[in-house]
Each structure stands twice: as structure tokens, then as C-alpha cells.
Copies of this chain bind each other. A is one copy, B any other.
Amino acid sequence: MSWLARYQAVRAQSQALCAPLLPEDTVVQPMLDVSPPKWHLAHTTWFWETFLLKEYAAGYQVFHPEYAFLFNSYYNSLGSRVNRADRGTLSRPALADVLAYRAHVDGAFAKLLAAPQLLPLVFYELLELGLQHEQQHQELLATDIKYILSTSPLAPAYLVEEADERPRSAPSAASWLSVPGGIHRIGFQEEGFCFDNELAAHDVLLAPFELQNRLVTNADYLTFMAAGGYRDFRYWMGEGWDLAQAEGWEAPLYWVKKEGDWFRFTHHGLQAVELTAPVTHISFYEADAYANWAGARLPTEAEWETAARHFEAVTDGGTWLESSQFDPQPVPIDADPTQCHQLLGDCWEWTYSAYHAYPGYARAAGALGEYNGKFMVNQLVLRGGSCATPENHIRVSYRNFFHADKRWQFTGIRLARSVESTNK
């Protein structure tokens, strides 16, 4: 696939995600973490313009002089910008203006990439980064759109779901799979692209441990809820407990009880809770409380990656953005209980590892040094990708990160436990 074809495919995917939206849907910011869809469409375009076209496309004309102020996300290197909290107060530029901006930049890329001139190696590195960056915003688009539509009492559907004819398995117990201890190498060790935060690959010493063969399901989680999990502080981190009380949490985000039954707001409107599907939209605090209640724990990121390598996790079979399901799916009814399922796709899995720099990590020079490095404190690592991640965007070494209180991503729970008498 040529660079131009890849570029155009990724760019088209972003716009396709917004196709079901009305212009009104592309403007609002119902909470700080959510950005308006037209902001995502414009910000990704600004990224291409700023880091590639302005540097490498001779004679490129900037689309609008104010857009750098409007669509810079967080790069102090690139000057002042709209306060993040104010993104949802700007009706202009309108969606049509943003689409024109996209077309302008896409035209410039078509011309640049079609030309026979030799571009320097760093250009192609930035091109790859730009594609990865736009894919990250595709995931955010999917989750932000969900949040935006959820705030209306009309519970509008983003997509009208077709009836799912697959046979549903009955809820069944998870099984524990062993992972051997010892010195393991984690971090990116393959060919191709990775983010700088996956480097340097390095050795870690692990005690042997066990991992559950699937994600925690809604059935599992309902048991926790029924057992009073949201009312018993003993399972909770202190800051999580205080937040849960202040916010009145009693179920995952998007869950509503109607006449005694639990429903979930989804991309397909309000749906009954599917028992065998993985629980999702839970904070680290909830994931951790669930694990405590279950007598288990969350894996560290080193354990997770080691297990993923040990079980030779592949993207095939996982639920990805491309499926338009926008929801994690149950393990197939005929799945092998001795295999480890759902490691890649479906839900980002909270780990009990702070998002810190790996040994040997160094921020890049220039504005792109702000891409990852400045966030490496106060957040937790999540692994494995989700049903909103483009399938070719993920790796076993991929490190996602959110604050412990965040719930609007497709986050889930994978339980681990230590093996008795280990490491003595």
C-alpha cells in the first residue's frame, strides 16, 4: 500500500466516523475530557499542516492564520491556544469550514506524495507518526461521540443496530492460566513503528503469576454490584471511594436502571446489558475495587505484556473500530477455555502500573517532545486496545494511559493473581 493510499484511507476513516453526525453533534463538549468532533477533525489536520506541510511542501499556503491558535491541542512549543475547557463554546469555524480545511490539506498531500522528488527520511517518520496520531483521534472520536449523544435524554442512536443473530453463551466462570516467572523482555522489539514511550525494550524480573483467560463480564460485575461493591469502602482506594460517593456511582458509566433492569447507552442507543459481554466504561478505581472484592488483583503492565507475548496474542478475533460494533463482544460460545482471549481488542485493560518512562527513555527534541513525555506521571497504563481502536494501530507493547478516574473510554478488567509461595 502506497503512502498516499494509507494517508487517504486513514483520513477517510476519520470522516466516515463523523458521517452519521449532525452538525450540532460536532460542536459540543459536555465534559472536559471530551472534545467536539469537529475539533478532532480540525486538530488532526492542523497536525499534518504544522509538522509536515509547512516544513516539507514547498509553497504550501496555510489554510487560515487563526487555525493554529484554534486547533493546537497542548503544544507549548507552538504558542498559545484555546483553553481546553472552551473548545465547546466555539461554533465557528463550522463543520463545513473544517471539512474544507481537511480537503485543502489532503490536496496538498496528494500533490506532495505524488511528486517524484525525494523527501528526507524524517518526513516519512513524521508521516507515519501523523497516521498513528490520526488513528488515536479516531478512537477518541468514537468515545467522545458516544458521550455527546449520551447526554441527551432522547438517547439517540449513532448507528441503527442490526439484529444480532449469533448464539449467546450462558455466563460461565473464567479460568486461570499460568505465566512463568523469570527475566522477560518488554517494550517494542519488533520491526516497524512504535511510539517513543514503548522504548527502550528492557528486561524485567517477574514472579510466576496467573491471569484469567477472559475479561470480566457484565455478569461477573453485576455479582459485585449485588454484593454491595459500590457501598463497601474496604475494596476501594481512598481517592476512588471519595469520588464514587461524591458522584453517586453505583454502576459503570452509561448504565441506567429502568423498571428494575439495567440498560446501557451504546452507539446503538439504549440496550439491555448483555451478561456475557465484557464490562466496560469503568474507572481504575472500580476495576481495582472489583479485583479486591474478587480476591484477585490487576496485572502490572510488565505482567500483561509478558502474558501477551507468552500467549502469542494476535489481533485476529478481537473487536476493533472497523467492525462498527463499538462495544466489546463476548468470548465465542465455542472458545477454548485453556486459551487466553480478548488480550487484543474489545477493552483497554487497566493495569496496576503507573505510566512512567521506561529506562533509557528520552523526550524528542522540538515540539514533538511534548507528544508523550510530559504526561509520564499521575496516570495508569492500559493495554491491549479496544473496540474503538483501529486494528492495525495496536501492538503488545502499546502503552495507553489515563487518570484513575476516567470512565468514558472502552476500559475493562482482566484479573491476575500471584502464585502462592512465590519469590521467597
- Contact bitstring A71-102, B, C-beta under 8 A = 1, else 0: 00010110000000010111111111000000
Q: Which residue of B lies closest to A29 (CB)?
A: B89
Q: Tell me, rounded to whole Å, the shortest Cβ–Cβ distance linking A327 to chain B.
A: 20
Of B151, B205, B375, B378, the residue contacting A90 (CB under 8 A) is B151
> Any chain B CB within 8 A of the CB of A236?
yes
Q: Are B153 and A70 in contact (CB under 8 A)?
A: yes
Residues 334-365 of chain A, each 1 if its beta carbon lies under 8 Å from chain B, else 0: 00000000000000000011101101100100
Q: Does residue A203 face the partner (Cβ distance < 8 Å to B)?
A: yes
Establish whether residues B89 and A151, one from each chain, have CB atoms under 8 Å apart when the complex forms.
yes
Q: Are B28 and A26 in contact, with the CB atoms below 8 A?
A: no
Among B149, B353, B370, B378, contact of A91 (Cβ-Cβ < 8 Å): B149
Q: Name the B residues within 8 Å of A77 (CB-CB).
A: 233-234
> How many whole Å from A294's CB to the nearest CB in chain B?
14
Residue contact B28 to A89, C-beta cutoff 8 Å: yes
Instruction: Give per-residue flags for A218-242: 1 if the beta carbon is below 8 A from chain B beta carbons, else 0.
Output: 0000000000000001101111110
Q: Which residues of B contact A96 (CB under 8 A)?
A: 22
A5 within 8 A of B: no
The answer to whether A359 and B148 touch across the interface, beta carbons within 8 angstroms, is no
Does A18 count as interface, using CB distance less than 8 angstroms? no
Question: CB within 8 Å of B: which of A192-216?
Answer: 200, 202-205, 207
User: Distance (Å) between the CB of A29 and the closest chain B CB?
Assistant: 8
A-side interface residues, number (CB < 8 Å):
72
When the two chains form their complex, are residues B92 and A24 in contact, meaning their CB atoms are under 8 A apart? Answer: yes
Across-interface contacts of A23 in B (CB, < 8 A): 22-24
**A42 contacts the other chain (CB 8 A):** no
Instruction: List the number of copies, as a whole number.
Output: 4
A394 proximal to B (CB < 8 A)? no
Instruction: Closest B residue to A375 by CB, please name it.
Output: B238
Q: Nearest Cβ distance between residue A331 and chain B, in whole angstroms?
A: 29
Q: What's the minimum C-beta distance from A334 to chain B, rounded to whole angstroms?
A: 36
The reply to whether B359 and A207 form a contact with Cβ atoms under 8 Å apart is yes
A92 vs B66: C-alpha distance when bound (angstroms): 29
Partner of A374 from the list B29, B153, B236, B404 (CB cut-off 8 Å) is B236
- Report B-chain residues with C-beta under 8 Å of the C-beta of A119: none
Name 16 extra pairs, CB < 8 A, besides A89-B151, A284-B377.
A22-B94, A24-B24, A24-B26, A30-B89, A70-B153, A76-B233, A91-B148, A91-B152, A92-B149, A92-B156, A237-B377, A352-B356, A359-B418, A360-B418, A360-B423, A378-B404
20 contacts between A and B (CB under 8 A): A22-B92, A24-B27, A25-B91, A27-B27, A30-B89, A86-B151, A92-B149, A92-B154, A93-B154, A200-B424, A202-B207, A205-B205, A234-B363, A236-B374, A237-B374, A237-B376, A240-B377, A352-B357, A353-B354, A377-B404
